[in-house]
Amino acid sequence: MVQKGGPETRNAILQLIASNGNITSREIANTLNINRSAILKHLKKMQEDHIIRREGSQKSGKWVVIS
């Protein structure tokens, strides 16, 4: 289990996305044992910081690591 909040959570999310760009926010939440709303906030912040981006639609798209 990852400690909630901060860079540890973002690093864990980044590792999951790097290994599987098609992973969903629900799968990330279940894997890290963190609620989905917290994961969505992290994903949004990571997009704003240009660390990740979403390609394709919300339903069938995938995550891409930018940096």
pLDDT digits (tens, 9 = 90+) for 8-40: 999 999 999 999 999 999 999 999 999 999 999
d(CA 46, CA 18): 13
The domain tally of the chain equals: 1
pLDDT band at residue 2 under the 50/70/90 scheme: low
> Angle at CA 18, nearest 5°, toward 60 and 15?
120
CATH of the domain at 12: 1.10.10.10
Give a yes or no: residue 11 inside a domain. yes
> Angle at CA 18, nearest 5°, toward 60 and 2?
105
Give a yes or no: residue 1 inside a domain. no
pLDDT band at residue 3 under the 50/70/90 scheme: low
Give a yes or no: residue 37 inside a domain. yes
Helix/strand/coil for 52: strand
Tell me the whole-structure pTM to 2 decimals: 0.87
E strands, 1-67, where? 52-55, 62-65
